[in-house]
Amino acid sequence: MPAGRTTLSEYLSQQSAQHLSLHPDLGSLVLEIAKAVQEIALLTSQGALAGVLGSLESQNVQGETQKKLDVLSDEILIQTFRSGNLVAGIASEENDEPLSNPKGGSFLCLFDPLDGSSNIDVNVSVGTIFSILSATPNATLTVGDYLRTGRQQIAAGYAIYGPATMLVFSLGHGTHGFTFDAASGEFILTHPGIQVPADTSEFAINASNERFWEPPVSRYISECKQGKTSVRGRDFNMRWIASMVADVHRILMRGGVFMYPKDTKDPSKPGRLRLMYEANPMTFVVEQAGGLGSTGRQRILDVQPESIHQRIPVILGSKNEVERIEEYHREHDRA
């Protein structure tokens, strides 16, 4: 290994020496996740050659048609965790109920095995999101064991399968990014101590939902679009990849605000994204990088979950922008 290149396993050893409060097996768990990520990255990179594109007949618990890669990625992660004895319980977007590992373990892992499914068949970046909680040793797991606020995550992160495969995560001591080097088969620390700028001139939202938004969101986006001619006094740029992982990754790299807010499109759903394996872990990495995550009315990490697959409004990214949007919600609610 050339001097100056820190591999993922070297980084994890350094972290456990430096932060004695870290669980001694947390590094091994991250390596287990990295192994699964490499397998998923290989499948996504082979695309049509591996016969992994397209949909299945099946639907997940949320009534969404499953893509082949949703299910394959889910199976890879479950198989990885079940072949070891680190993860006692597994909850995934693709499974109605959590699964337990007969071998037990010190952790619970909640994940979105393949985020951005609508982008798989068109060869646009997708990802894997994970959230780690501690498990009570030797206890029989119930759903209640998973229903803990995002603040209780001991680690969280994501893999992005883009032009480069990257693993970005936080163990609660900053957010750090690793790029997969296919030549050595190693993840290399390429983005230490990521910081999200507090101010931004870039927003990400699915504007086709505009007529369903609440007034504070419409106000914020309208001001951004009016740019220099509005109270903002500067022009804004817009991006929407429709893979949360890719949109949030961009924000970690150069700032911005990502929004999938509450809307009235389907009144039975308080938001599009899922709290436990999308909003919580992505907020954890963004906040560890100096950003902020909010529903507009409450910090995401303080939301008490009521079910594994519950949905939530998400406003995530540069601190001053998220605080501004929260203020617009307060002003609206007061009026």
Residue numbers of the site for ligand AHG (CB under 6 A)?
93, 112, 115-118, 206, 242-244, 260, 272
- By beta-carbon proximity to ligand AHG, the closer residue of 177 and 261 is 261
Interface with Mn ion (CB under 5 A), residue from 32, 74, 115, 326 = 115
145 touches Mn ion (CB under 5 A) = no
Q: Are 119 and 242 in contact (CB under 8 A)?
A: yes
Instruction: Using the rule CB under 5 A, give the single segment among 37-45, 95-103, 111-119, 262-270 that binds Mn ion.
Output: 111-119
- By beta-carbon proximity to ligand AHG, the closer residue of 28 and 295 is 295
| Among the listed residues 191, 215, 176, 227, the one whose alpha carbon sits nearest the alpha carbon of residue 329 | 215
Q: What are phi and psi of 126, to 5 degrees?
A: -130, 180
- Binding partner of residue 243 among ligand AHG, Mn ion, none, CB under 5 to 8 Å per kind? ligand AHG
CA distances in angstroms from 207 to 183, 217, 258, 316, listed in the order given: 41, 11, 12, 16
- Binding partner of residue 206 among Mn ion, ligand AHG, none, CB under 5 to 8 Å per kind? ligand AHG
112 touches Mn ion (CB under 5 A) = yes
74 touches Mn ion (CB under 5 A) = no
- By beta-carbon proximity to Mn ion, the closer residue of 92 and 165 is 92
Query: 273-274 and 237-238: which strand pairing?
Result: unpaired
- Binding partner of residue 13 among Mn ion, ligand AHG, none, CB under 5 to 8 Å per kind? none
Residue that has been written with the tokens 């995002």 in this structure = 150
Q: Are 115 and 128 in contact (CB under 8 A)?
A: yes
Q: Provide the minimum distance between the beta carbon of 244 and ligand AHG in the complex, in angstroms, as a whole number.
A: 3
- By beta-carbon proximity to ligand AHG, the closer residue of 145 and 278 is 278
Rg over CA atoms, the chain: 19
| Among the listed residues 197, 155, 180, the one whose alpha carbon sits nearest the alpha carbon of residue 44 | 180
Q: Which two three-digit tokens encode residue 331?
A: 């002003």
Q: Kindly give the interhelix angle for 244-254 and 280-288, rounded to the nearest 10 degrees.
A: 10
247 touches Mn ion (CB under 5 A) = no
d(CA 285, CA 43) in angstroms, rounded, equals 26
- By beta-carbon proximity to ligand AHG, the closer residue of 31 and 71 is 71
- By beta-carbon proximity to ligand AHG, the closer residue of 117 and 153 is 117
In the bound complex, which residue of the shown chain has the CB atom lying closest to Mn ion? 115
- By beta-carbon proximity to ligand AHG, the closer residue of 114 and 132 is 114
Taking the mean position of all CA atoms in its chain, how far away is CA 208? 23
Judged by DSSP in three states, 328 sits in helix
Instruction: Using the rule CB under 5 A, give the single segment among 88-96, 202-210, 257-265, 284-292 that binds Mn ion.
Output: 88-96
Q: Are 98 and 277 in contact (CB under 8 A)?
A: no
Q: Which two three-digit tokens encode residue 51?
A: 């016969």
Q: Provide the minimum distance between the beta carbon of 110 and ligand AHG in the complex, in angstroms, as a whole number.
A: 13
Q: Provide the minimum distance between the beta carbon of 116 and ligand AHG in the complex, in angstroms, as a whole number.
A: 4
Residues that bind Mn ion (CB under 5 A): 93, 112, 114-115
